[in-house]
Chain A
Amino acid sequence: MHAPAQVREADSPAVRLSQVAITFALKGGGTYQAVRDIDLAVGASEFVAIVGPTGCGKSTLLNAAAGLLKPSTGGADIFGERLSGLNARAGYLFQQDALMPWKTAIDNVAVALEPKGVPRAEALARSREWLSRVGLAAFADRYPHMLSGGQRKRVALAQMLIRNPQILLMDEPFGPLDAQTRQIMGNLLLDLWAQDRKAVMFVTHDLEEAIALADRVVVMSAGPAARIVGDYPVSLPRPRDIAEIRLDPAFHAIHKAIWGTLRVEVQKAYAQGEGGNA
C-alpha cells in the first residue's frame, strides 16, 4: 500500500486470481458452479500450464484472466491492479478458429495494430515481418480457408504477438492439430516466447505437452466446482525441443508425479460421464 505504483507493479505477478469462484445460471433455472477457491499467481515471465480432465473449467479460468468472464466471487489482479472489463495487457489464442474469414492472412495480422493507431503502411510492413517469423511469408495473401489448420494457428499466433501483450492466454491452441503439427507449433511457440519471456497461461488436456512447454504445471480437479489440486514446478533446462525432451529421464519423473494426481481426477470425471464428450 505504501510502495510507489511502479515498484508495486514490478513486484506483482502478471496474473493473480484470488479466491475466484465462477457460477453460471443454467437455462432451465438453477446454477452450475464451474470453479471455486481458485488461488493462482503467474509471474511476469513465467510459463504456466493448466491441465485437468475435460469439462473441469480450465477455459473458464482463462476467460476470467482475460476479462471475458466476471468471477462470481473473488477477482483477477493484473500486475497488481484489479481487473474490470477486458484485460488490455493480454493476448488470447483461442482453441477454435478466431481469424476473420473475410480478411487475408496479412490483413488479419495488420488489423490487430489498428486499435493501437498504427498507420496502415507500417502495420502492413510489421505484419509481413511477423508472418515470416511464423514461417508464412509466402501465404500473406491467402484467406483463412485456403490455409491448413496449422497455418491458421500460425496466423493467429502472429496476430496475438504483434500487439506485444505482456500476458499470453492460450486455450488448448494446438488441440485440433495433428501430432506432428503440434510438435512443430510447440517448438515455434517456445522459440518466440524465449525471445522476451512473457507471462503465459496455457490450458491443455495433454499432460506431456504441458510438461514439455511449461515452467509450472497446475492440475485442476474434475468439475463441477473444480479447484486446483496440484502445482508442480518443471525444472527441465531450456531451450527445449518438444520431441526430444520427452525422452529425458527427468521428464518421466515429473510426468509420473503429476499423473498420479491427474489420473484420480480424470477417472472421477470419466465416472461422471464427462469422459465421453471430449
Chain B
Amino acid sequence: MRRVTLLAMQVGVGLAFLLVWHLLTAVPMSGGKPLFDPFFFSTPLDVLARTWKDLASGELWYHLGITLTETVLAFTFGAIGGIAFGFLFARREILASVFDPYIKAANALPRVVLAPIFALWFGLGIWSKVALGFTLVFFIVFFNVYQGVREVSPVVLANARMLGMNERQLLRHVYWPAALTWMFSSLHTSVGFALVGAVVGEYLGSSAGLGYKIHEAESVFDVTGVFSGMLVLAIFVIVIDTFVTAIEKRLTVWQPGTGAATAQG
C-alpha cells in the first residue's frame, strides 16, 4: 500500500470515530436530546476546545514540562541502574544465582503499591514519581542487558579471544555492544514505562503534571477535562515514541533490516 493511501486511511479511522462520538453526544435525537448525555461522555468539540484553551493559556505546558522531566529522569536512572546491574550479574554467575528469587519477586510486585511508600519517602514532588518510574524501567533494562551479555554469540566471543583481547577489550568490543543492542530493542517499552510511572505517580498524589490534571478533573466530574488530559497524553506519547524511533535508527545502523544498503555479490 502506498504511504499516502495508508495515511489517508489512518486519518479516516480517527475522523470516523470522532464523527460517531459527535453524532451520539452532540446531535439532538427524537426526544430533543442527544442519545448519550454529554455530562458523562462529553463531546469531541468540547474536548478540542478545552485542550486548545489550556494550551493557549500556557497552563498545560507547565504540567507537560513536569511530566516530561519525571519521565526523562526515571528513564535515565533506570537505564543506568539496569545496565550496571545487568552487566554485573551476567559476568558474575554467583550473584545472579543468589539474587535470582529476590529479583523475580521484586519484578513480580505490582509497582502501583509502592507509590504511597515513595510519596512518604520522597514527598509529593517529582522525586516520588521518578522513583516509581525507576522501578519499572530498571527491571526491563536489567533483564535485557543481562540476557544480551549472556547470549553473546560464542563464535564471536571465541574469535575475539583468539585475536588476543583481554577482559577489558572484550567488554568494550563485544559485551558492551551486544548488551546495548538488547537495551535498544526494549527502548520503546522502557520509555513507555517511564512515562507510566510518572503519570500514575502524579495521579496518586501530587500537585503538578498531566496525571495530576486528569485526577483533578475526575474529582469534580469534569469529563471534558479528563478526555482533554488523555488526548494530550496520547499526543505526548506519540511524539516521544517518534523521537525514540529516530534515536534507535541512528544507533542501530549495523543491524540488518534497518533500511541500509544490502549485499551485492
Contacts and interface: CB of A to CB of B under 8 A. Distances in A.
Interface of A: 66, 68, 86-88, 90-92, 94, 96-104, 111-112, 114-116, 142-148, 151, 156, 159, 163
Contacts of B253: 143
Best-surrounded residue of B164, B174, B265 (most CB of chain A within 10 A): B164
A108 B236 CA distance: 40
Interface string B104-131: 0000000000000000000000000000
Nearest to B160: A100
A115 B165 CA distance: 5
A92 B159 contact: yes
> Range of interface residues on chain B?
20 to 34
A239 to B, nearest CB: 26
Contacts of A163: 163-164
A97 B155 CA distance: 7
12 contacts: A68-B161, A98-B153, A98-B156, A100-B160, A104-B254, A111-B173, A112-B164, A142-B261, A145-B262, A146-B261, A146-B263, A148-B263
B158 A98 contact: yes
A114 B165 contact: yes
Contacts of A103: 173, 177, 254
Interface string B163-177: 111100100011001
Interface in B165-211: 165-166, 169, 173-174, 177-178, 181
B162 interface: yes
B52 to A, nearest CB: 46
Contacts of B1: none
Contacts, number: 80
Contacts of A143: 253-254, 260
Contact of A114 (B169, B178, B264): B169
Contact of A68 (B156, B158, B256, B261): B158
Interface in B138-170: 153, 155-156, 158-166, 169
Contacts of B162: 66, 68, 86-87, 90-92
A112 B163 CA distance: 6
A115 B177 contact: no
Given A86-B161, A148-B263, A163-B163, 11 more contacts: A87-B162, A97-B155, A98-B153, A100-B156, A102-B254, A111-B163, A114-B173, A115-B166, A143-B254, A146-B260, A151-B263
Contacts of B264: 148
Contacts of B181: 102
Nearest to A101: B254
Given A115-B163, A148-B265, A159-B163, A100 B260 contact: no
A146 B163 contact: no
B179 to A, nearest CB: 11
A102 B260 CA distance: 14
Contacts of A86: 161-162, 164
